[in-house]
Chains A and B, each alone.
Chain A
Amino acid sequence: MAHDAHHAEGHAHAHWDTSIYPFIISFGILFLAVAFSFKFVYHNGFAAILAMGLGIPMIIAGIAGWTSEAMGKGEGLSYGAMGWFILAEAMIFVSFFVSYWYTKLHVDVWPPAGNVELPRTMPLVMTFILVASSLTIHYAEHLLHLGNKAGFRTWYLLTIVLGACFLGMSVYEWSHLIHSGFTISTNAFSTVFFSVTGLHGSHVVVGLAIFLAGLPSVMRGDIDEGFMRTAGLYWHFVDIIWFFVVSQVYYW
């Protein structure tokens, strides 16, 4: 994928490959970090918006440019790389869970004062939906492997819909809890509850974003099987993590 920059020039080997997008994304992230400081440290909302206004478009433009520049030119290594990346991601969840257990086991009274009754059925429904979406993407990949592009598209879209349903239910639950006075700063449990479900939710968002990034090519029909397998792998990971989330924060 590095050898695509030279067709503009006649003499191919005098030029070195370049890509402007990594640079743009990095500095976009810099603006986001600065925006956080403006908002929460210096309480300057206007400057924060300004920095976000620079950062977010830079990141989006960077990602869009990157995908269009590189999509389909992968060397089939992204599946293996995703495995390593998932290892790193899993460690984030591990550190959340371990600090949760550490805190919980050390104090005398648990949960701390201020807790509310968490819903019991909603998480089961959410589990069902997420597992279903894992199965649909798996089936979609299977169809793609057999060469059935139309079938792939159907099940792919279904996966996206299921993922979106899951996200919607999360949002509904959060707003419900927040309205009943249970917020992230109520106590140590609420902190864990919101940060762990939020962290997981953000992974759902990333998973969906990957699917959406692949959507144009799916609609066009020039589907990159390696990309889809990698996206599917990530989605399975998000699903598996959910089992830990649901068992640890809702039922334990």
Chain B
Amino acid sequence: MNLKEWIFTTDHKRVGVLYLIGSIAAFAVAGIMALLMRAELSTIGPTITANPSQYNVWLYTHGAVMILGFQIPALTGFFANFCIPLMIGAKDVAFPRVNALSVWLFYVGVILALLTFFIPDPPDVMWTGYPPYSTITTGNTAMYSFTVLILGFASIIGGVNFLTTVAYMRAPGLTLNKLNIFVWCTLAAFVLQLIFVPVLGTAVSLISMDKYLGTNFFDPTKGGDVLTYQNLFWFYSHPAVYVIFLPFIGVVYEIISVHARNAVFNYKMVVYGGVGGIVLLAGEVWVHHLYVSGMADWLRIGQMVTTLMISIPVGLMMIGLIGTLYKGSIEFNTPMLYGLGVVFLFLIGGLTGIPLAVPSLTIGVSDTYYVVGHFHYVMAVAGTFAIFGGVYHWFPKMTGKMYNEFWGKLGFWLTFVGVNIVFWIMMDVGVKGMPRRYYDYAHFPQFESAHQWMTVGAGILAIGFALAVLNWIFGAINGKPAGDNPWNSPSLEWSTVSPPPHGNWPSPPSVSEDWHPYGYKKG
């Protein structure tokens, strides 16, 4: 193997694999931060560090790296890169060098985020970076701003690249209604990125400008306004949750239709109602993160309705997913277990968002562990399961080899049990009043045993995730040969050899009139 051809590669599959390695490494680091936090919270008072700042730095890296360094790059970096050109029958992306630039910018962003552990006065502004704290802290806010800016820029050029690729480079005969659901979902996510990331970039630049260059955007004594930042930040960061949700549910669609060997239920409903509806609504709900932050009342009430209405397109996507199971022929292998796990766990996560959408109820539970429980179910659990399931699903295509089913299933069940312990208890203590971002909960002694259970659960799920990663590593090195199409899928990416060569197909494929990525036939 030629290392130079990996590091400087411009091939979409290798860029994708680089994204995968980087984002899983980021996940491991941020996951270890989570374990340290859980260890710290296992008793009242100092447990493993006596310095609250230390905890805040862990929490900052955990949140920022999990979202910006793990999930978004894994979904819109790895899966998009590896799958989209193969699924649309293209040789590569439109701009292979731009693609290489985006993966290396991603690495640079992650390096900046991890420098946190080595610099004096590391950033401690939480992943939200709200001023005025972020502009007066002694922590290095510039590091936060640049991390976000660089990762955001990487994502924008990736988005430009893929939108162009799918617009112009589809195989002959591959009409829009024959695109895989995953492709639709990811394109929608890229549209959201293009519209909203620049706003985030602006927001985080402004705090560093205020802090270091003497501007007054958020300084009320000079005519600025603190709340501007929160509006800008959430104007991006709510859509960002759909940037995560859309590709991950797309991955689950692929997993479930392939392993149930069934056509996607009501394809057009899923694409135009589900994906389209989410794109339309994503930008009009950000105020639900500002229900208790002193926004104008009319905005809060108005966006309550739009936020609740998000349940409609998401609900349609759930119906499509569940309908795909109906009369299928399900094989319960590891990717399918993760896929089915997502269906149940996402229901919990999504539905617990409904009370949060009502401002009068949020007044009680905002900024408590209830919210932390909600978003871990919906994002950290459902999203990560989808990513893990997806890696298993395309593992034979990527490596030409097979992972180990036994260890795969064992890893799944351990995490499944673990996440429910941790995040269910979290919601419960949250409703009872436990606020988030607490290094110490001395005035809530009644929650100590709950926190201990959560720590135990975190240990269990960590073993499960580690087993999965080890399974991939061993599988890639000496797994059994898998063949080109072990799942017998008609989707285009399985029609080439595994792993696909440079250029993907000896001659570019074209598809016939009656072909469909979900066209399962008897025989």
A and B touching (Cβ–Cβ under 8 A): yes
Which A residues are within 8 Å of any B CB, using their own CB? 1-2, 13, 15-23, 25-27, 29-30, 33, 36-37, 40-42, 66, 69-70, 75, 77-78, 80-81, 84-85, 87-92, 94-96, 99, 102-103, 106-107, 110-112, 183-192, 194-195
Instruction: State which of A17, A88, A195 has its C-beta within 8 Å of the C-beta of B11.
Output: A17
With A112-B223, A184-B215: A2-B9 Cβ-Cβ less than 8 Å: no
Given the complex, which residues of A lie within 8 Å of B104, measured CB to CB?
22-23, 25-27
Given the complex, which residues of B lie within 8 Å of A88, measured CB to CB?
156, 159-160, 194-195, 197-198
Instruction: State which of A80, A85, A91, A185 has its C-beta within 8 Å of the C-beta of B167.
Output: A80
Given the complex, which residues of A lie within 8 Å of B206, measured CB to CB?
99
| A42, B157: Cα distance in complex, Å | 31
Q: Taking CB as reference atom, which chain A residue is nearest B147?
A: A33
B68 to chain A, nearest CB (A): 15
Given the complex, which residues of A lie within 8 Å of B150, measured CB to CB?
29-30, 33
A142 to chain B, nearest CB (A): 25
The interface residues of chain B, by DSSP majority, are classed as helix
Q: Is the CB of B224 within 8 A of A26?
A: no
Q: Taking CB as reference atom, which chain A residue is nearest B212?
A: A40
- 6 closest A-B pairs by CB: A112-B223, A188-B223, A185-B214, A26-B104, A22-B101, A91-B198
| A136, B192: Cα distance in complex, Å | 35
The answer to whether B326 has its CB under 8 Å from any CB of chain A is no
Interface residues of B in 164-184 (CB under 8 A from A): 164, 167-168
Q: Is the CB of A17 within 8 A of B164?
A: no
B46 to chain A, nearest CB (A): 28
Q: Is the CB of B225 within 8 A of A184?
A: no
Q: Is the CB of B198 within 8 A of A41?
A: no
| A194, B216: Cα distance in complex, Å | 11
Given the complex, which residues of A lie within 8 Å of B202, measured CB to CB?
92, 95-96, 99
The answer to whether B482 has its CB under 8 Å from any CB of chain A is no
| A110, B163: Cα distance in complex, Å | 43
Q: Is the CB of A2 within 8 A of B10?
A: yes
| A26, B98: Cα distance in complex, Å | 11
Q: How many residues of B contact A (CB 8 A)?
A: 71
Given the complex, which residues of A lie within 8 Å of B11, measured CB to CB?
2, 16-17
Instruction: State which of B8, B105, B146 has its C-beta within 8 Å of the C-beta of A19.
Output: B8
Q: Is the CB of A23 within 8 A of B142?
A: no
With A16-B11, A29-B108, A42-B120: A187-B222 Cβ-Cβ less than 8 Å: yes
| A208, B2: Cα distance in complex, Å | 40
Given the complex, which residues of B lie within 8 Å of A192, measured CB to CB?
217
Q: Taking CB as reference atom, which chain A residue is nearest B12?
A: A2
Instruction: State which of B9, B120, B140 has its C-beta within 8 Å of the C-beta of A17.
Output: B9
With A1-B96, A89-B198, A91-B199: A99-B160 Cβ-Cβ less than 8 Å: no
Given the complex, which residues of B lie within 8 Å of A184, measured CB to CB?
213-215
Q: Taking CB as reference atom, which chain B residue is nearest A99?
A: B228
A184 to chain B, nearest CB (A): 6
Q: Is the CB of A188 within 8 A of B100?
A: no
Instruction: State which of B4, B168, B501 has its C-beta within 8 Å of the C-beta of A80.
Output: B168
Q: Is the CB of B142 within 8 A of A2?
A: no
Q: Is the CB of B198 within 8 A of A185?
A: no
Interface residues of B in 216-238 (CB under 8 A from A): 216-217, 219, 222-225, 227-228, 231-232, 235
| A84, B158: Cα distance in complex, Å | 11
Q: Is the CB of B105 within 8 A of A77?
A: no
Q: Is the CB of B5 within 8 A of A18?
A: yes
The answer to whether B119 has its CB under 8 Å from any CB of chain A is yes
| A26, B105: Cα distance in complex, Å | 5
Q: Is the CB of A81 within 8 A of B5?
A: no
Q: Is the CB of B97 within 8 A of A102?
A: no
The answer to whether B314 has its CB under 8 Å from any CB of chain A is no
Instruction: State which of A17, A27, A194, A195 has its C-beta within 8 Å of the C-beta of B108.
Output: A27
| A145, B161: Cα distance in complex, Å | 27
Instruction: State which of A2, A42, A103 has its C-beta within 8 Å of the C-beta of B228.
Output: A103
Q: Taking CB as reference atom, which chain A residue is nearest B106?
A: A26
A29 to chain B, nearest CB (A): 6
B9 to chain A, nearest CB (A): 6
Given the complex, which residues of B lie within 8 Å of A111, measured CB to CB?
223
| A25, B161: Cα distance in complex, Å | 18
Instruction: State which of A23, A42, A186 has its C-beta within 8 Å of the C-beta of B100.
Output: A23
| A187, B214: Cα distance in complex, Å | 10
| A70, B121: Cα distance in complex, Å | 42
Q: Is the CB of A26 within 8 A of B232?
A: no
Q: Is the CB of B5 within 8 A of A15?
A: yes
| A89, B202: Cα distance in complex, Å | 11
With A33-B112, A84-B159, A191-B216: A26-B164 Cβ-Cβ less than 8 Å: no
Q: Taking CB as reference atom, which chain A residue is nearest B11?
A: A16
B209 to chain A, nearest CB (A): 7
Q: Is the CB of B212 within 8 A of A41?
A: yes
| A94, B209: Cα distance in complex, Å | 18
The answer to whether B189 has its CB under 8 Å from any CB of chain A is no
User: Chain B, 78-112, contact with A by CB distance < 8 Å: what is the 0/1 string?
Assistant: 00000000000000101111101101110110011
The answer to whether B351 has its CB under 8 Å from any CB of chain A is no
Most buried by A among B9, B168, B214, B223: B223
Q: Is the CB of A81 within 8 A of B95?
A: yes
B109 to chain A, nearest CB (A): 9
The answer to whether B203 has its CB under 8 Å from any CB of chain A is yes
Most buried by B among A21, A95, A96, A194: A95
Interface residues of B in 224-278 (CB under 8 A from A): 224-225, 227-228, 231-232, 235
| A186, B215: Cα distance in complex, Å | 8
Q: Is the CB of A23 within 8 A of B7?
A: yes
| A198, B239: Cα distance in complex, Å | 28
B162 to chain A, nearest CB (A): 10
Given the complex, which residues of B lie within 8 Å of A37, measured CB to CB?
119, 140, 142-143, 146
A103 to chain B, nearest CB (A): 5
